[in-house]
């Protein structure tokens, strides 16, 4: 048996894509509440003012806020050991900088954790998953403002104290390395955008803009490190992890220049944040990168000590796809999980153009484990697909089962190779809103939700074929993948 006893099988979600109830229970607006839906070809737009006549996917999302009992019961039925969710920061601190939390918001998650307990499901909580309170975005240009560190620390401390008896597994930030890329400015760093313009900045950044962005990311590093220290003080049982958008970038050819290009990309888009958060200091290659791009990161005295003290307990990551790097300007570009790269001729792509690469998961796990030697946790993996109801009225998502089976097999091999893996939470276990495109049509779930791209549907839930398959996988602790 490859997977150890107590292996944490489950599913993963994020409040802004799942929860809805955007202005209920005292919740304030968050950055995602200002972002419209889109598609691959029509990027999501960022609005300074919320337009009451426009549909914003996060406002209702798939209404976990009202369906949480039903959703968690379905997870119980599948036998989940673990449920990854994020807490919506502006549900707890509506504007982000209040001194006292919103009691009704705290109560909501007590109720959620009580449901989890009924089915022996362990919650894994992301403290911040692309959900900065709008108030902090406006006042400080998001994480660019050093003040946001204190707001985050107050928020995280509230959570550690409040849920001390309910939660011991935490992630400080979702996919923190998205902030190391220009497209992470709004979504990950909560910075202000250009009114009515795409949330993913398409034009190249100036050196000044890059300096702001890397300062914002630095502030997240400091905030995370502080939270790790406090979280351990409040409850020594707490296990607090980082979370990286995991990516494998292969050299497109054996041309040493392609190899160096792939290495540079892996360094700044993947390893950089992990190096800071696991090793407790900036890696050597960051200096050269900052110099080449005229970037000045505004750090303060004492930050280095904080980073060194607040290193994480485990390395969690999302993994969907891989890509290639090439210095050849003619090489064909593909689309992907916010990272784009060169198309790999050995791989097939999903309907959304993400290149499917289970073997890449095994390679990635071995690379990460060799580098850090701390436990890994796969907290996102899955296939976004357009599920169509069959004539018999059901959802026969064998393509999803195939994708998941191949990835679980690869993960099993990595464990056999000697990698220490804590668990696996499949992304979007209940259909939810896509982060990159804002679509509902791009579905990941074991559970179907009646909701479309324009906000129509009554939210009722249905089990897909993959639901019954995953139940068997969990029951057999990964031995039965048929």
Which positions lie near ligand BGP, rule CB under 6 A?
Answer: 14, 17, 174-175, 245, 318, 337, 380, 384, 427, 434-437, 442
Q: Which is nearer to ligand BGP, 258 or 397 (CB)?
A: 397
* 380, 412, 416, 475: the active-site residue: 380
Six-digit token pair at 272? Answer: 């950089």
Q: How far is the CB of 126 from ligand BGP (least distance, A)?
A: 9
Six-digit token pair at 214? Answer: 């890397």
Q: Which is nearer to ligand BGP, 344 or 437 (CB)?
A: 437
- For this structure, is 380 an active site residue? yes
Q: Which is nearer to ligand BGP, 179 or 384 (CB)?
A: 384
First-to-last alpha carbon distance for the chain, in angstroms, is 16
Q: How far is the CB of 416 from ligand BGP (least distance, A)?
A: 27
Q: How far is the CB of 260 from ligand BGP (least distance, A)?
A: 27
Q: How far is the CB of 318 from ligand BGP (least distance, A)?
A: 5
Give the C-alpha separation, 299 to 311, whole Å: 18
Q: How far is the CB of 361 from ligand BGP (least distance, A)?
A: 15
Q: How far is the CB of 161 from ligand BGP (least distance, A)?
A: 26
- In the numeric block, the tokens 């939390």 are attached to 101
Q: How far is the CB of 178 from ligand BGP (least distance, A)?
A: 7
Mapping DSSP onto H, E and C, the string for the chain reads CCCCCCCEEEEECCHHHHCCCCCCCCCCCEHHHHECCCCCCCCCEECCCCCCCCCCHHHHCCCHHHHHHHHHHHHHHHCCCEEEEECCHHHHCCCCCCCCCCHHHHHHHHHHHHHHHHCCCEEEEECCCCCCEHHHHHHHCHHHCCHHHHHHHHHHHHHHHHCCCCCCEEECCCCHHHHHCCCHHHHCCCCCCCCCEECCCCCCCCHHHHHHHHHHHHHHHHHHHHHHHHHHHHCCCCEEEEEEEEEEEEECCCCHHHHHHHHHHHHHHHHHHHHHHHHCCCCHHHHHHHHHCCCCCCCCCCHHHHHHHCCCCEEEEEEEEEEEECCCCCCCECCCCCCCCECCCCCEECCCCCEECHHHHHHHHHHHHHHHCCCEEEEECCCCECCCCCCCCCCCCHHHHHHHHHHHHHHHHHHHHCCCEEEEEEECCECCCCCCCCCCCCECCCEEECCCCCCCCCCCEEECHHHHHHHHHHHCCCCCCC
Give the C-alpha separation, 304 to 306, whole Å: 5
Q: Which is nearer to ligand BGP, 216 or 245 (CB)?
A: 245
Q: Which is nearer to ligand BGP, 44 or 213 (CB)?
A: 44
Q: Which is nearer to ligand BGP, 228 or 245 (CB)?
A: 245
Give the C-alpha separation, 440 to 17, whole Å: 10
* 175, 301, 367, 462: the active-site residue: 175
Q: Which is nearer to ligand BGP, 213 or 280 (CB)?
A: 213
Q: Which is nearer to ligand BGP, 168 or 381 (CB)?
A: 381
Q: How far is the CB of 303 from ligand BGP (least distance, A)?
A: 26
Rounded to the nearest 5°, which phi and psi values hold at 327? -90, -5
Partners of residue 421 on adjacent β-strands: 376
Q: Which positions are catalytic? A: 175, 380
């Amino acid at each position: 048996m490859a997977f150890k006893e107590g292996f944490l099988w489950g599913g993963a979600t994020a409040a802004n894509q799942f929860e809805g109830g955007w202005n209920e229970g005292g919740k304030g607006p968050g950055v995602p509440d200002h972002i419209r839906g889109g598609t691959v070809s029509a990027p999501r737009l960022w609005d300074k003012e919320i337009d009451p006549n426009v549909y914003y996917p996060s406002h209702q999302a798939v209404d976990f806020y009202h369906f949480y009992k039903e959703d968690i019961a379905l997870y119980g039925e599948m036998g989940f050991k673990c449920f990854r969710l994020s807490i919506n920061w502006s549900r707890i601190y509506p504007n982000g900088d209040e001194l006292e939390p919103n009691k009704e918001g705290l109560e909501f998650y007590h109720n959620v954790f009580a449901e989890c307990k009924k089915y022996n499901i362990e919650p894994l909580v992301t403290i911040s998953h692309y959900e900065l309170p709008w108030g902090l975005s406006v006042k400080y240009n998001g994480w660019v403002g050093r003040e946001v560190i204190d707001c985050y620390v107050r928020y995280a401390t509230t959570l550690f104290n409040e849920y001390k008896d309910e939660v011991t597994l935490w992630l400080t930030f979702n996919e923190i390395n998205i902030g190391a890329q220009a497209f992470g400015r709004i979504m990950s760093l909560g910075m202000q955008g250009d009114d009515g313009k795409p949330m993913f900045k398409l034009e190249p950044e100036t050196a000044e803009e890059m300096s702001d962005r890397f300062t914002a990311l630095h502030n997240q590093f400091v905030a995370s490190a502080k939270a790790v220290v406090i979280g351990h003080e409040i409850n020594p049982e707490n296990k607090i992890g980082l979370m990286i958008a995991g990516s494998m970038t292969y050299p497109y050819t054996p041309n040493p220049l392609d190899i160096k290009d792939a290495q540079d990309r892996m360094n700044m888009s993947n390893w950089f944040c992990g190096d800071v958060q696991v090793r407790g200091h900036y890696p050597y290659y960051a200096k050269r990168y900052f110099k080449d791009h005229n970037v000045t990161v505004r750090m303060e005295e004492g930050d280095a000590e904080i980073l060194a003290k607040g290193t994480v307990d485990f390395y969690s990551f999302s993994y969907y796809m891989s890509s290639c790097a090439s210095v050849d300007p003619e090489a064909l570009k593909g689309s992907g999980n916010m990272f784009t790269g060169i198309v790999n001729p050995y791989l097939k792509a999903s309907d959304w153009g993400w290149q499917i690469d289970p073997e890449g998961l095994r390679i990635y796990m071995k690379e990460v484990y060799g580098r850090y030697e701390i436990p890994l946790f796969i907290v996102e993996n899955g296939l976004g697909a357009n599920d169509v109801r069959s004539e018999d009225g059901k959802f026969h998502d064998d393509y999803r089962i195939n994708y998941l089976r191949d990835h679980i097999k690869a993960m099993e091999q990595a464990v056999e190779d000697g990698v220490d893996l804590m668990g696996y939470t499949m992304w979007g276990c209940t259909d939810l809103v896509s982060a990159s495109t804002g679509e509902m049509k791009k579905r990941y779930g074991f559970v179907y939700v009646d909701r479309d791209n324009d906000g129509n549907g009554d939210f009722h839930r249905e089990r897909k074929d993959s639901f019954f398959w995953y139940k068997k996988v969990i029951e057999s602790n990964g031995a039965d993948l048929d």
